[in-house]
Structure 1
Amino acid sequence: MSVAEPEPTLRELLRRRDLRLRLALPEAELDPEALDRTIRWVHGSDLADPTPFLADDLILLTTGTQFVSGGAGAAEDPAPYVEYVARLDARGVRGLGFGTEVVRDGIPPALVDACRAVRMPLFEVPYRTPFIAVARANAEAIAAQAYARRSWALSAQRALSLAALRAGGVESTLVELGRQLGTWAGLFDASGTVTREHAGPLEPETAAALREEVAGMLRRGARAGAAVRIGGTDFTVQTLGRGGHLRGAVALAAGGLDHEARGVVTAAVATIGLALEQQESVERARRALHRGIAQLLVAGQGALAGRTLRETGMALPAEPVLVAVAALPAPARAAWEWVDARSAEARGALFAGGVEDGVLLIVPAGARDLLDEFAARVGTRVGVSAPTRYAAMAEAVVAARVARERGTEPVTHFGELIDRGILPALAGPGPRAAAAALLGPLRAHDARTGSDLTRTVRGWLDAECSHERAARELGVHRHTVRARLAQAETLLGRDLSSFAVRAELWTAFALDAGPSHAGP
């Protein structure tokens, strides 16, 4: 944010050789930035108390006539000087210039001491330098600074316009904005995640706090600008998009921006917002295409889907692949923005398309981490098939859906689910209801008569259908087990000597025990 002209400061006035100003106090006896504060005006007054008529950020010039009005010797009394300087200091005067050879040949020592006490800059204005020349010099510096700032703003906006026309216009515009302002700049997506930044990453703690601040603004859904201070750093944040339809935000590690800098930021935000809106139109068309491709894949038309995608210059990930089905979160924007960003970075290693129950994701078999990242960033559950080929896509989609519905982790792989046994894949309200219905006659009889047929049949199956072993474990005679089994056959209407019936009953007991039961 540098400009050609220097700031209008007391130091710059002292450097003007034509004014012949001389600092009466050593710089070491002043506040560290006393000579470098911006001066907005120079005013002359010989009033004993000019403070009611002074503006902010001002240098006051005086000839000292107010100090000799009390008669002989009054000029050497330090009290008037101390009181006078105290009033100026309380009003915020940034420096005092004393015109010599008008009333006094030099600066009164008492005035020097009074300024030293409050560390106020005091300088001599020689007789041959009119006060109006000092005021005019400062006004010229202000005008030159304003012109330089306006010129910089126009140049910066031209640079932003050119950046927007480059490939990757959004990123180029953000980088150019950070370069023009000489500071860190970051672009956040609709979820509050930094997607692009200029001038290197922030400190982790600062970055996390800024993310939370931006995410809160985006959750509120209204267009807004904010100035926040995090860890000693001032940030300016501006949301992107329409109210209720925010696309993200731009953040700058800069605060207290002047009018020109705010205009440059406004231009950059408008340019980035327009680019994102245009980009969204393209993305909507691409998502519609990918939704059709996904439907072809789910229908087992992998070859047709691949050919169609190749005609648009894209391709499906190379086989073997992992096929995943993810539940679509609400709102769905975060999921699609992650897909759009990662698809561009993955360079053909990720395909995503909408299906009726969520998002179909396809990645190479060695890219499981992409699916983990999707689940973590989007906050949804993902089911994943075993490595497969496109010819078996329909079966892989079914397996992924089963893994999603039966799994308990954010990402569940079908192979890992089956490793725990086939029963977890069968769990669910429907199978459990069927199991309860099959075992219902036994339980109803036990409840009505106080018998123990249900426990006996389960114990017999767990004892691998051995009457003797079941009798021992149940604590009854083997003839009692036989009698109860015969009664159970009658109630169930099934032949317990059949392996298929035994397997069906064992499965019913396992399912009826709950989704976590994986065996006897």
Structure 2
Amino acid sequence: MDDPTLRTLLRRRDLELTLLSPTEAMVGDRLDRPLRWVHSSDLLDPTPFLADDLLLLTTGTQLTDGDAAQAQAYVTRLADRGVAGLGFGADVHHAGAPRELIAACAALGMPLFEVPYRTPFIAVARAHAEAIAAQAYARRSWALDAQRALAIAALRPRGLESTLSELARRIDVWVGMFDAGGALTHEHPPRSLAEPAAADLSAHVGELLARGAQAAQSVTADGQPFLLFTLGRGGHLRGVIALATDALDPEARTVVTSVIAMAGLSREQSEQLNRSRARLHSQVLQSLLRDDPALARRVLGSLPVAPVLVGVASTDAPAEAIVEWCERRRLEDGLAYFGAAAPSGMVLVVSAAQEQVYAQIADRFSVQWGVSAADGYGSFARMHEQAVFALGRSGDAVTRYADTASASMIGALSTDEARLVAESRLAPIRQVDAASGSDLERTLRVWLEHDAVLDASANALGVHRHTLRSRIAQASALLGVDLATFPARAELWIALHAAGE
């Protein structure tokens, strides 16, 4: 359906209108400007009674033949008021439009057309009214058709994403949805935004979400206009929908508003479903921690294929956002996972072949993971303990139990309590070293590092082996233990490590 414009009226053969402007170039785009209405007046200055984007019809009774200045002033007033075009009724008071009126219109770029005597002004106004009504009907029909298409799309798998894609096709603009964390989770057409615009738009979305209030906002991202609409209630925003446009007509806005409401409801329902699922998964986790995967399989239907890894995230990890990310990966890439909240931190189980998921989540959400060794579900409790231990042993984004275990058993015993016990145990030889300047503690450390072999230890210390033997005997007496036995040597080695230098 053509927009109601002057060009539309000129194309109506039944009206027989004739454009008098010498060339279309002289009137620029005025022929295609939407017309608000058609009005007729023979006043010399009708501007107080006119509106912008109006087409004026006149018989020219107010104009004096040959008065170019009058014609120039008349057309100037119309142009300044925003009149879109001037129609001249021929053969009423003038045989045709006066030359001075044609010249004035040409000079000011005002479209001038002739209305023949057999075409009443009311016919022109009625034709324009019919065009407006036809356009309104066409837009209402479009809106109804769009609403039907969106309702059908909502019934498809991944209904919300299907609905947004259908919306993008119906209004012919890019549409994107951002989650509560500001991440772009769906767009159509996919990957069609330039990187600078996408980055700038994400920043605007983040600011809108940070404010936490319901809003509809116009923004510019890398020079491109966008409309942003929040999802959810104020203080509980669930995301943002963005449209790559600067304006919507009433019908398009109605369609978009229905999609926003649908998306907000969908996000609220998803939130409730996620909370219910989180409670269920926490209960399933308790079963797994008893090394019994039977209940989990009955409830969930399936679990990641063994051997699996158990990961425990830091307590500040955004569990809901991580589960949502994993769910998208499940739908897009077939990721098999199990996630649940626990007092120790979020637990995430994946197959050993999917170990890279932990690093991806750590990078995406800035959280730390402790990850167990790979094993079957019959060892789940032990794997969970390994993951908790690994999480507490390092500040890396992902810490594997295998890496911490290789640091030795003695390292696991280096607690504050062990240090206090070790310092008390070594106090007698440290007091002698401090009083006499001897080096008994270092001698014992080097001796044990060389497997208690006298010659190798003496060479490392730069002393005679008889001197070394004498120092060991003195330390044995001070400590009250027989360092010729393995248990005494093992206890001394642990004490030296726990106490430090």
Q: TM-score, normalised by structure 1?
A: 0.84
Q: What is the match of residue 184 of structure 1?
A: 174
SS at match of 2:241: strand
Secondary structure, counterpart of 1:227 in structure 2: strand
Task: Write out per-residue CA displacement over residues 155-198 of structure 1, whole angstroms, 9 at most, x where no aligned residue.
Answer: 32233233333443222322232232222222222222222333
Secondary structure of 1:197's aligned partner:
strand
CA offset at residue 257 of structure 1?
0.8
Matched residues in 1 for 2:409 and 2:312: separation?
20
In structure 1, the residue matched to 2:183 is 193
Q: 2:202 aligns with which of 187, 211, 226?
A: 211
Contact 2:352 2:374 in 1 (8 A): yes
User: In structure 1, which of residues 398, 404, 407 is the aligned counterpart of residue 394 of structure 2?
Assistant: 407
**Structure-2 separation of matches of 1:399 and 1:425:** 12
SS in 2 for 1:35: helix
Give the Cα separation in 2 of the matches to 1:448 and 1:336: 62
Deviation at 1:424, TM superposition (A): 6.0
Q: Return the letter of the residue paired with 1:375.
A: A
Among 384, 387, 399, the residue aligned to 2:374: 387
| Distance across 2 between alignment mates of 1:326 and 1:100 | 85
Query: Is the contact between residue 170 and residue 276 of structure 1 (CA under 8 Å) also seen in structure 2?
Result: no
Match 1:121 to one of 111, 123, 136? 111
* Cα separation, partners in 2 of 1:456 and 1:354, compared to 1, 3 Å: same
User: Do the aligned partners of residues 481 and 151 (structure 1) sit closer, same or farther apart at CA in structure 2, a change above 3 Å counting?
Assistant: same
1:406·1:425 contact (CA, 8 Å) conserved in 2? no
Partner residue, 1:172: 162
Q: Which residue of 2 aligns with 1:106?
A: 96
Candidates 258, 274, 285, aligned match of 1:267: 258
8 Å CA contact retained: 1:324, 1:400: yes
Over 3 Å counting, the alpha-carbon distance change for 1:157 and 1:482 in structure 2 is same
Map 1:71-470 onto structure 2 (within 5 A): 73=66, 75=67, 77=68, 79-201=69-191, 202-301=193-292, 305=293, 307-312=294-299, 314-329=301-316, 331-345=318-332, 347=334, 349-419=336-406, 452-462=439-449, 464-465=451-452
Aligned pair count? 499
Name stretches of at least 5 consecutive residues in structure 2 with no aligned partner. Answer: none
Give identity over the alignment, percent: 50
Distance 1:266 1:66, change over 3 A: same
How far is 1:381 from its partner?
1.0
Change (3 A) 1:91 1:463: farther
Of 3, 12, 30 in structure 2, the residue corresponding to residue 7 of structure 1 is 3
Amino acid across the alignment from 1:144: A
- What is residue 517 of structure 1 aligned with on the other side? none
Aligned-pair CA distance for 1:225: 1.9
Separation (CA, whole Å) in 2 of partners of 1:50 and 1:381: 75
Query: Aligned-pair distance for 1:104?
Result: 3.6
Structure 2 counterpart of 1:238, one-letter code: F
Partner residue in 1 for 2:58: 62
Q: Relative to structure 1, is the Cα distance of residues 136 and 362 closer, same or farther in structure 2, using a 3 angstrom cutoff? A: same
Shift of the 330–363 alpha-carbon distance from structure 1 to 2, 3 Å rule, reads closer
Kept in 1: contact 2:326–2:335 (CA 8 A): no
Q: 1:100 to 1:387 in 2, by over 3 A?
A: same
Segment of structure 1 superposing worse, 256-265 or 37-46: 37-46
- Give the distance between the partners of 2:495 and 2:31, measured in 1 at CA: 88
Contact 2:287 2:296 (8 Å CA) reproduced: no
Partner AA of 2:3 in structure 1: E
| Matched AA of 1:121 | P
Q: 5 Å matches for 1:14-25? A: 14-25=10-21
SS at match of 2:232: strand
Please state how far the C-alpha of 1:390 moved relative to its aligned partner: 1.4
- Report the Cα offset of residue 466 of structure 1: 5.5
CA contact (8 A) 1:223 1:246 kept: yes
Mapped to 1, the partners of 2:341 and 2:7 lie a distance apart of 65
Name structure 1 gaps, 5 residues minimum.
515-520
Distance (Å, rounded) in 2 between the aligned partners of 1:173 and 1:405: 45
Query: Residues 98 and 124 of structure 1 are in contact (CA less than 8 Å); yes or no, is this contact kept in structure 2?
Result: yes
2:346 and 2:39 map into 1 onto residues whose CA distance is 70
Q: 1:293 to 1:62 in 2, by over 3 A?
A: same
